[in-house]
Structure formats: C-alpha cells, structure tokens
Amino acid sequence: MNFLKYNLRTPCPFNPVVFVFVLLLISLGSLKKTFAQQDPMYTQYNFNTQTINPAYAGTWETLGFTVLGRYQWIGIDNSPHTYSLSLQIPTGKKNIDLGLNVVNDEIGLEQHLSIMADYSYRVRLNMSTSLRFGLRAGFTNYSNPLANYIQDVDVTQQEVFESMDSKLIPNFGVGAFIYNPDFYLSFSTPKILETKLQPESSDFNYSNYAELRHFYFQGAYVFPLGDLIKFKPTLLAKVTINAPIAIDVTANFLLADKFWIGPMIRSSKSFGFLAQWITPNNLRLGYAIDFNTAKLSPFGGTHELMVSYELNSRSRSRMPSLF
C-alpha cells in the first residue's frame, strides 16, 4: 500500500468520533419500533466487512478469501445458521479491484443462497487516505417449502405453496469505504431491490418479503497503547425502514500484531467475545461467541468460526491493526 509511505497522521476532513455520536443519537429515536430484520448479523463483522460492502473489495491489495460459519442459538431446533465466503481479486489495473460473495442463510426450512459479484474503484483523497466506491450485482435463490409446515394439504393449497417454494431473485447494491492507517468509515446497502413474494392465486392470502433493503454504517479508530498493544473500538449499525436500529459495539485489542481479543455488546440484548490469531503463514483463525440476555438466554449461545487467508500478506502486515 503506497499511501503507507506517507505520514500516518495526515489530516482528514472526516471525523470518526462525530460519526459514532450521530449514529448513537439516531438509534435513540427508534427503540420503540418493531419489525423483522433479515440479513444475518456477525459478531466478527470487523473482519467480514465485504459481505455487506462491495467497496471493501481490494483493500487487502492481494488475492485472499474469508470463510465464516455462524451457528445461532445452539440448543433450539431449526435455529439459524449462516455460511459466508468472500474473495478479494486484484485485477492488476490501477485502482480497480473485484470481489465475490457467497452467503447461505438458513432458518428452519427457509433458505437464502446469495451469490454476488463486487466491483471496487479507489480514489485517493490525500497522501494517506483513500475512498473506495463499490457496486454489487448478483442473485439470491430463495426457497421456503411451505407445504412441509402443514401436515394435511389439499391439492389447491399444494399448487399455491409450490408456486412460492423457490424463486431466483436478481439484485444489486452499492457501498463506500474511506480509510487510512488510523481509521475507516463504511456505508453500504448491499441489496437495493425489495422483493415481496405472493401466491399466484388471489384466493390465498399470504405474502412474504424475501429481501428487504438494509443500510449499514460502520466505523473504527486505532489508538496505540504502547509498543505491543493497540486499541480499536468498532461500531456497526444496521438500519431498516420501520425497524429498530441494530447496533454492535466492540472493543478490540491487538497484542503484538498477532492476537485480537475483545468484548462485544449488541442493542438486541446480547453480548459476546471474539478472538483471532494471525499466524506467520498469512492465515487468520477467528472465533466468537455471543449470548442473548432476553427470553432466549436459557439456550446455548451463538458461535462463529472464521478462517481467512492471503496469498501475499506484505501489504496487510504493515497495518494489521486496521483490518
């Protein structure tokens, strides 16, 4: 990363402290609203940003991938589980990079399998700060075999259910990502089109939103606490119309540029912890667990396993505290 050769303290017009403060104020106005949100939330969102922001593709400046598995509410039958794969693909062309995201999200019999391609373009704002714009396009295969929920289904109902069992849904998204060695700010809406599924027969009153539009705001800032410890608070806010804002705040500590540890708290009455090991051979191994403090608290927590690998980590090794 050539911009790292310059002064890491180059002034930038964006203030991350103001950014976090504004997000917290916005959240206070939506606590009494209720509406279901769809996209999965990740405890290790700080290391899985590309799943929600196409502009993140190319920030590694090398070929690499991230795989994450999330197993929610262990102990509950048919509880949600999510698998994601993200690829960063340099093109060799100046300021242009590509990415690929595959996300399989299941809860009960309902499944969302999403395959999206990313295009990212970088603009240098000054010697140390870059702004990336991202565009995403692809499709989601939505399936929900409604007939399997009901024991006795007549022929008419069976035809209606089958008309909604599986749909191939195209979509696209956009994002922006600004960063330098001290901080990053992210804004994205990974799926712009909202899709509502309804049976072909008007005699059957059923509808379901297969995809809703979500807006994501994310930020982080790095504070050195000596030669061997860095502190990086991060914040992620997910906004959906007519829904409460979901906010995650994590206190990340990087030890000797090799180990990440930190607690997490989420506005939906849950908290957790994460840890990551950066191995000498470009491999990263991460684990996170979070617990619900509300009605689901008697059940097991939610577990996440993450693996990422970079073909050439020279660029990453200069700033492991940021990504």
Give 306's pLDDT tier (boundaries 50, 70, 90). Answer: very high
Q: Which two tokens stand for residue 285?
A: 């191994």
CA Rg, the chain, in Å?
A: 21
How confident is the model at residue 142, as a pLDDT?
A: 85
From 307, 266, 278, select the one nearest 48 (Cα to Cα): 307
CA 57 to chain centre: 13
Mean pLDDT of all residues belonging to the chain = 79
How confident is the model at residue 282, as a pLDDT?
A: 83
Q: Which two tokens stand for residue 44?
A: 């290790």
Stronger pLDDT, 71 or 203, i.e. the higher one:
71
Neighbours of 151 (CB within 10 A): 6
Give 274's pLDDT tier (boundaries 50, 70, 90). Answer: very high
Asked if residue 76 has pLDDT above 80, the reply is: no
Q: Provide mean pLDDT across the span 65-93.
A: 89
Domain boundaries, the chain: 2-149+171-195+209-317
Q: Per residue in 155-171, pLDDT tens?
A: 455 555 555 567 888 99
Distance CA 190, CA 188 (A): 6
Whole-number Cα distances in Å, 25 to 20, 21, 321: 9, 6, 28
Give 14's pLDDT tier (boundaries 50, 70, 90). Answer: very low
Asked if residue 206 has pLDDT above 70, the reply is: no
DSSP 8-class letter at 202: T
Q: Which two tokens stand for residue 1?
A: 């990363």
Q: Kindly tell me the burial class for residue 288, based on how many C-beta atoms sit within 10 Å of its own C-beta (0-12, 13-18, 19 or more).
A: buried
Asked if residue 61 has pLDDT above 80, the reply is: yes
Amino acid type, 254? L
Output the pTM of the full model.
0.80
Whether residue 88 contacts residue 63, with contact meaning beta carbons closer than 8 Å, is answered with yes
SS3 93: coil
Amino acid type, 53? N
- Give domain 2-149+171-195+209-317's CATH architecture: Beta Barrel (2.40)
Asked if residue 24 has pLDDT above 50, the reply is: no
For Cα atoms 31, 210, 168, give the angle at the middle one, nearest 5 degrees.
155
